[in-house]
Amino acid sequence: MNYWYNVDTELILASRSPRRTEILGFAGVPHRVYPSSVEETSMEGPPADIVTHWAQAKAADVSHRFPDHPVLGADTMVFRDGVLLGKPQSTEQAFQMVRSLSGRWHTVYGGVALMWQSRGLSFSFAEATRVKFRELQDDEVRAYIATGEPMDKAGAYGIQGQGSVLIDRVEGCYFNVMGLPVSRFLYRFRESLT
């Protein structure tokens, strides 16, 4: 147990994201990975509502298997000028996504949901972080795409990896862009236990 995670049972992470596991590890949160089987489909509505919906769906999908553990669901989406930039399906699509972010601001929305059935505990929220890319040349975008890093990431970049060199500035939670707004999550978790 640590100060921020002061319960005697491990957290269940309803995600196979290695980045979320890494963030929880940074924070010293004991957890086990049990990915949700929820398949995301397209939805209409405000981005914050969409990511919260999917985070809740993932937590609910796994929480009935682990009623005596807190179960964390999370979702991340990247929006530029109202357009959703999901995970690229090809290197050409990745190139177009990254190129479209050059010199511009975009917003990363993170949805978080926690469910702990045996304690009747649940909460959810959305976090928004603004990110600005520096002006990029086509050859640097192609070189970044060639690393393979963008292919499993919303918006076709990873802030914590080689994509870090693409970014000019961040307004808000860095870890939200990486995959989980851990500070706000742990604060809300502690608050819910009192």
pLDDT in tens, the chain (194 residues): 677 788 889 999 999 999 999 999 999 999 999 999 998 877 888 999 999 999 999 999 999 999 999 999 999 999 999 888 988 999 999 999 999 999 999 999 999 999 999 999 999 999 999 999 999 999 999 999 999 999 989 899 999 999 999 999 999 999 999 999 999 999 999 999 88
The structure's pTM equals 0.93
Report the C-alpha gap between 57 and 132 in whole angstroms. Answer: 30
The residue with tokens 């397209």 is: 42
Helix ranges (H only) for the chain are 18-26, 47-63, 91-101, 138-146, 174-178, 182-193
Nearest to 190 by CA among 2, 6, 1: 6
CB 68 within 8 A of CB 174: no
Nearest to 14 by CA among 50, 58, 56: 58
Q: What's the pLDDT at 3? A: 74
Q: What's the pLDDT at 179? A: 95
Nearest to 144 by CA among 130, 168, 169, 164: 164
Q: Which of 68, 75, 138, 139 is catalytic?
A: 75
Report the C-alpha gap between 106 and 126 in whole angstroms. Answer: 16
Helix (H, G, I), strand (E, B) or coil at 93: helix
Report the C-alpha gap between 92 and 55 in whole angstroms. Answer: 29
Q: What's the pLDDT at 1? A: 61
Q: Catalytic residue at 75?
A: yes
Question: Which domains does the chain possess?
Answer: 11-193 (3.90.950.10)
Nearest to 61 by CA among 12, 17, 110: 12
CB 135 within 8 A of CB 104: no
Q: What's the pLDDT at 94? A: 96
Report the C-alpha gap between 164 and 41 in whole angstroms. Answer: 29
